[in-house]
Chains A and B, each alone.
Chain A
Amino acid sequence: MTTTQSVMPYDEALERFEPVLGLETHVELGTESKMFCGCSTAFGAPPNTHVCPVCLALPGALPVANDKAIESTIRIGLALNCTIAEWCRFARKNYFYPDMPKNYQISQYDEPLCSNGYLDVEVNGETVRIEIERVHLEEDTGKSTHVGGATGRIHGADYSIVDYNRAGIPLVEIVTKPIPGTDRLAPEVARAYVTELREVMRTLGVSDVRMEEGSLRCDVNVSLMPRGSAEWGTRTETKNVNSLRSVERAVRGEIERQAAILADGGKIVQETRHFHEDTGATTSGRSKEEAQDYRYFPEPDLLPIAPSPEWIAELRGELPELPGARRKRLQAEWGVSELDMAAMHNAGAIDLVEATVEAGVPAADARKWWMGELARRANESGRALAELPITPGQIARVVELVSSGALNDKLARQVLEGVLAGEGSPDEVVEARGLRIVNDEGELSSIIDQVLSANADAADKVRAGKIAAAGALVGGVMKASRGKADAARARELILEKLGVSE
C-alpha cells in the first residue's frame, strides 16, 4: 500500500512556499493512579493487570477525578502562561473503536481547563514565541496490537488484541495556535518547542516525559501556502512522531511532500498521516470512512471543575523556576553571550556546567572543559555529554589540580581521558599514569641543561638578547619532559641560566 512519493528538495520548496505549523502534544501525567480510578499507572506491567471495573467500563462503575491530575494540569497551564478556567467540565468524545472499552473517551471539549498561553523557545539564539491555544485533561487509551497482514499495521490486519493497562492514565493535551512565519526554520522551531515543553514538564515534575515510552507524544500539523499568499493551505496531521529528531524530520518531510503535490497542480488532502521512524516518510492514515463525528457532550458522570482563585494563586506561588528563566539567570551569572548559552543548551551542557560551577569551578573553566574537550569526546563516541562516565565533581578536581599548578591543560586532558576510560578518579589517574607536572627544581634544571646543550645555537641567540628564541627552548623542555614540565617555570630558569632577563 506504500506508494513512492515524489518530493521537492527542501530549499526549492521553501523558495516557493511558506509553511504554517501547529503542534499537539500529549503528556502522560506521572500520577500514581489513573485519572478516574485507583489502578496503577506503572509502565511495562503484564497485560490487563492494571484494570478495574471503572477503566474497563463494566456496568455500574463510575469515575471520580484524580485530584493530583487536576492540580498538575493547572500547574502546566500556569507554567505556559495560560488563563485557568473558573469553571469547566469534562466531555464525552464518542467513537467506536476498541482502544476505549466505554466506546467514548472522557476528555474536554469547549471548556478546557487552561487556555490562551504561550511558551518562548530559542532557535539559533533568537526567541520565538509559540502561542498556546489550550491545555486540557483527558484519559489515555488502551494499547492495540494488530495481528496478521504483512505490515503489523491496522490496515490488512486479521484481528487486534488489546491491553487496557494504559486506558485511563491521565493525559494532558497541549495545543498550539497556528504558527506562521517560521519560514525555513520551521523544522527547528517545531523541535525547539517540543524540547522546551519537555523541559518545562520535567521541571514541574508532572511527567517523566519519555518519548520512547510514549509518555510524551507529538502530532505535527503542517500546511503550505504560496509565498506572498494571505490564505493558509490545507493541513495534514502527522501522528506517531516519537522522538525530538523525528519532530524535525516529520515537518521537513511533510513540507517536501506537500510542495511536490502543490507544484504539480495537485491538492492536499486534509488527513491524518503516520510517521515512519525508519524511513522518515509519512503514509496516509485514516480513510474518509473514519472521519469522525465525535458527538461531544458534557460528561454526566463527573462534576464540574471549579478551582478557587486562592488555590490557583497558591499553585502559581509554588511554581519552580522555569527553564527559560533559569537559562537567563545562569547566562547573567556566567557572563556568557546568547550564542554561547544556546550552544550549551543544544549540547545538553547547562546542567553539567551548573553542577560543576556549584562544585567550586569558575564558570569560564567549567564551560571550557564541557564544551571543549568533553564535547569532543562525546561527539567522537556518539554519546550525549550527560552520558559520559565523568562527574562534575571530577571535573572540579581536575580544574583544581590545574589551578594549583599540579597539572597543565595538556596533562589535564590526559587525566580526563583516563577518567573516561574507567581508570578511576582524577587523583588515581594522575598517580597511575605519572602525570604530575615536574616541579622538582633539580629534575627540571637537569632537563634544561640537556636541552641547552642540544640546542646551542638557540641558546646563543638568547644569550645575545634575542629573547624570542627562548620559546623553542621551552618547547624542547616540554618535549623532553613529555609535557610534564611547568612551562612558565622552565622559561624563567632558562633565562636565568642564560643570564638574561625580560
Chain B
Amino acid sequence: MSAITRDEVAHLARLSRLALSEDELDHYATQLDDIIGAVARVSEVATDDIPPSSHALPLTNVYRPDEVRPSLTPQEALAAAPAVEDDRFRVPRILGEEA
C-alpha cells in the first residue's frame, strides 16, 4: 500500500498553490511515496529506549535577550522583491471572486 495517495498529492499541491498537470500528479505521487517510504525506515531502528526527538541537539531554553538590533533599510529589504509599491511588497491577487 502506498504511503501517500494521488489525491493527497493533489490536495497538497492546491494548499501550496501549485498547478500540477495530471502527468505531474502521477509523477510526484510516485516520487513522494518513495521518499516517505525511505524516511519511514527510521522507525524500524527506533526502539522504546530512544525517545522521539525533533532536534539533533540535546539543548533546551536557548534564548536571546530582548534587545533591539539594527534592521535593514526599506531599500535593502525590498531589493529582491519582484514588485514594490509604496515601500511595500506587491503580491498578486490573493483570493478570486468566488467567495
Interface, chain A (partner B; CB < 8 A): 1, 31-33, 37-40, 46-53, 56, 64-70, 87, 89, 94-98, 144-147, 154-164, 284-287, 289-290, 292-293, 295, 297-300, 302-307
Contact = CB atoms under 8 A, between A and B. Distances in A.
Contacts of A156: 97
Contacts of A157: 93-95
B60 A161 contact: no
A interface, over-half SS: loop
A65 B60 CA distance: 11
A161 B66 contact: no
A51 to B, nearest CB: 5
Contact of A32 (B62, B68, B73, B74): B68
29 contacts: A32-B68, A33-B68, A37-B69, A38-B64, A38-B69, A39-B68, A39-B69, A48-B89, A50-B71, A64-B63, A65-B63, A66-B63, A66-B64, A66-B66, A67-B65, A97-B94, A146-B94, A155-B99, A157-B95, A158-B93, A160-B94, A161-B91, A163-B88, A284-B99, A290-B95, A292-B15, A293-B15, A297-B54, A303-B60
Contacts of A50: 71
Interface string B1-41: 00000000001000111000000000000000000000000
Contact of A67 (B57, B60, B64): B64
Given A51-B71, A147-B85, A303-B57, 18 more contacts: A32-B68, A33-B69, A46-B87, A48-B78, A48-B88, A64-B62, A66-B64, A154-B94, A158-B93, A161-B86, A161-B91, A162-B91, A285-B99, A286-B99, A299-B54, A302-B62, A303-B59, A306-B61
A387 to B, nearest CB: 33
B90 A159 contact: yes
Nearest 3 interchain pairs by C-beta: A38-B69, A298-B54, A68-B66
B10 to A, nearest CB: 12
Contacts, number: 145
A32 B64 CA distance: 12
Nearest to A283: B99
B66 A69 contact: yes
B73 A49 contact: yes
A164 B78 CA distance: 11
B71 A52 contact: yes
B42 interface: no
